[in-house]
Amino acid sequence: MAERNGSAAGKKPAAAATQPILKVDGVTLQYKTKEHLITATYRVGFDVYPADRFVLLGPSGCGKSTLLKGIAGYMKPVEGAIRLKGREISEPGPDRVMVFQEFDQLLPWKTVKQNIIFALHNGGKTDTVAEAEEIAMEYIQKVKLTGFEDTFPHMLSGGMKQRVAIARGMAMEPDVLLMDEPFAALDALTRLQMQKELLQLWEDTHFTVLFVTHSIEEALIVGSRILVLSPHPGQVKAELNAHHLNHDNVGDKKFAKVQQHIHDMLFADRILEEDVKPGARG
């Protein structure tokens, strides 16, 4: 833990000197349903620096997943701009790889290895099959799935499927890895395991990751920096540091204090909302 603190402190001045890799600037995202125009986020802005484990945290309805879709390029902001390395994002691309919550994100007609090769090949990462195969095997080993490379996804457990999805995303070595509640559909034990493994992988290469979650605990464990969003529509409530917190801190005073602080921040809205509602009815 002391080591983690030390390394983070050592990086701070460097981070200040480097430019943010992703700039989200006053972004308003809206989508239409049959009857309503819903504003998912309203003028949200934040900067993500290289090697950040940047978490978007908020209750359901705060537009965090929509924001991630905007960054991935599936949605265009109605206001503001999203820039990756200074270039405005206009469509999906392999420089921002998405890892979804759903287990069906693996192509069922391809084996574990073929799924990764598919990404490398179509994403323009590799030219030859041999090269793609080598990279695929390397990442399969990294996510501890050696021996399952020729297995089809339907034979894997939920946790293993998510590991493959993460391996596929990381193999692309994107500028930023986008993770949309990737562990939310897992059981608690597997989730804990996956969080630890994700942090280990990060220790290896210090990749930049944008991680969406609604769990305060997960945000504190996984994240190095946390953007707290308020719901309906999503607006920035706070940006906090969590690089000094990990699994070892769960349950200790420092961890509990930040957890309580975020909890209060999010909960304050709820109480206000509930206060307003009966009045509106009467």
Partner 1 sequence: MSIKPPAGKGLLPKLVIRPEYEVSDIAQAQISDVAHKLSLAERIWNINGVRKAVILLALVAAWQAYTVGFDVEPLMLPSFSISFMRLYNDLFYSDLIYKVWFSVKVLLIGYSAGLVLAALLILWATATRFGSDFIAMATAMFNPLPAIALLPLAMLWFGLGTASLVFVLIHSVLWAVALSTHSGFENVSPTLRMIGRNYGLRGIFYVLKILVPAALPSILAGMKIGWAFAWRTLIGAELVFGASSGSGGLGWYIFESSQNIDTDAVFAGLFTVILFGIVVENVVFRNIELRTVNRWGMQQ
Instruction: Give the interface with partner 1 as residue ranges (CB under 8 A).
Output: 72, 74, 91-94, 96-98, 100, 102, 104-105, 107-109, 118-119, 122-124, 152-155, 172
Given a contact cutoff of 8 angstroms between Cβ atoms, the answer to whether 65 and 39 are in contact is no
Give me the least distance between CB of 244 and partner 1, in Å please.
33
Q: Please give the angle made by the CA atoms of 31, 37 and 41, to the nearest 5 degrees.
A: 55
**Residue 88 three-state SS:** strand
- HSE-up of residue 227 (Cα within 13 Å, Cβ side): 24
Give me the least distance between CB of 224 and partner 1, in Å please.
24
CB nearer to partner 1: give 129 or 271.
129
User: What is the spatial distance between Cα 261 and Cα 223, in angstroms, rounded to a whole number?
Assistant: 16
CB nearer to partner 1: give 92 or 251.
92
CB nearer to partner 1: give 107 or 250.
107
CB nearer to partner 1: give 89 or 242.
89
Query: What is the DSSP pairing of strand 176-180 with strand 96-99?
Result: parallel
CB nearer to partner 1: give 115 or 259.
115
Give me the least distance between CB of 176 and partner 1, in Å please.
13
Give me the least distance between CB of 108 and partner 1, in Å please.
5
Question: In terms of C-beta density within 10 A (0-12 exposed, 13-18 middle, 19 or more buried), how is residue 217 classed?
Answer: middle
Give me the least distance between CB of 105 and partner 1, in Å please.
5
Given a contact cutoff of 8 angstroms between Cβ atoms, the answer to whether 164 and 117 are in contact is no
Query: Element (H or E) spanning 210, and its range?
Result: strand 209-213
